[in-house]
Amino acid sequence: MDALLRARAAGQSGLISRAQALSGGMSRKAVECRLSSGRWTTVHPGVYQTMPGRQDWETSAVAALLHAGRGSALCDTSAGYLWGLIRSAPHPIRVVVPAARRVRDVEGVVISRSRHAPDRVDPRAWPHRTTVEHTVLDLVDRRGPDRTIAVAAKAIGLQLTDAGQLRAALAERPRQGNRSLLLSIFAEVADGCESPAEGRYIRDVERAHALPRGVSQSPFGKAGRRDREYVWRVIAEIDGRLGHGGWLDVQRDGRRDRAATVAGRTTLRCYWTDLVPTACDLALEVAQVLRAKGWEGRPRGCHSACPVGAAAASWNIGPR
């Protein structure tokens, strides 16, 4: 194997395809000799590992691409992992190929076909994968708002894309589910929403009950950010942790709340368990605090039994 072929294999996690080896000047006999001697091992039919022993996830992903061949790209959770949108290495490996191609199934690899595949692959990324925008849309397709906010906020937070590019990609996918929800969430993320908990607060507390709109991630101090801040010097800090935080987190939150109090602001600390089963009760509490601080609007109930509607009906709305 000459230097160019060795360099090619090194750039492919030690892997080489039979077609690459033959087009690179190796004879069929030379390939078979390496396989029979154990210097190379077969990963998939026609895909060989020239550095036996490499078994990491990326090696498996590259092997899947070499097996799938021309026009193939990692997609869905596999692309999401490479973009940093998913924490754990996913299994099986997911690969998309152009619709006109037929690829034989192999163990540990799921092959899908799409006529849009050539237009949705990032030409600069290796291993080949779908663009970050189309990866986001694959990951959130027909999923709930919490998943959508988490993935979109992660992609934007990593500066891989922005809300405008996500909207443009969505426009190319007329069959994508939950389009109105996606557009709404992309707008929320563009305005600074960074977590599923904050997204639920915006939708289920503010918007559903006609509360005034706070400002997401407003700066304070040298490098601090507040989750939602209102012009009446009220802050909503939204904690999405399901369990108790560590002492360092609790101490940090306490210091932030005390600093806000010193600055003349009122902090409302909201937890996931406030948002999911009792968003209406939380909305009433927020409305009461905002009114006490000078808001002159009227909230509304989100359904016939919502406590916000009943309470608001008894309020005298007018100049304070």
Confidence grade of residue 243 (pLDDT, cut at 50, 70, 90): very low
- pLDDT at 254 (0 to 100): 61
- pLDDT at 259 (0 to 100): 63
| SS3 (DSSP) at 78 | helix
Flag whether pLDDT at 318 surpasses 60. Answer: no
Flag whether pLDDT at 291 surpasses 60. Answer: yes
Candidates 107, 93, 105, 96; CA nearest to 43 is 107
Percent of the chain with pLDDT over 70: 88
Pairing of strands 93-98, 109-114: parallel
Q: How far apart are CA 104 and CA 111, in angstroms?
A: 8
Flag whether pLDDT at 59 surpasses 90. Answer: yes
Of the listed ranges 60-74, 242-256, 284-298, the one predicted with least confidence: 242-256
Domains in the chain with CATH codes: 1-53 (no CATH), 133-190 (no CATH), 196-313 (3.40.960.10)
- pLDDT at 250 (0 to 100): 57
Flag whether pLDDT at 70 surpasses 80. Answer: yes
- Mean pLDDT estimate for the chain: 88
Confidence grade of residue 244 (pLDDT, cut at 50, 70, 90): very low
Q: How far apart are CA 297 and CA 291, in angstroms?
A: 8
Sign of CA dihedral 38, 91, 95, 110: positive
Mean pLDDT along residues 281-287: 95
Residues 9-48 have pLDDT tens digits of 999 999 999 999 999 999 999 999 999 999 999 999 999 9
Flag whether pLDDT at 85 surpasses 50. Answer: yes
Flag whether pLDDT at 256 surpasses 70. Answer: no
Q: What are phi and psi of 232, to 5 degrees?
A: -90, 20
Query: Residues 42-68, buried b or exposed e (16+ Cβ, 10 A)?
Result: ebbebbbbbeeebeeeebbbbbbbbbb
Mean pLDDT along residues 283-300: 94
For residue 247, give the H/E element and its range: helix 247-262
Residues 200-241 have pLDDT tens digits of 899 999 999 999 999 886 666 544 567 889 999 999 988 865
* Helix segments in 47-200, DSSP class H: 57-68, 76-83, 132-140, 145-157, 163-171, 179-190, 196-200
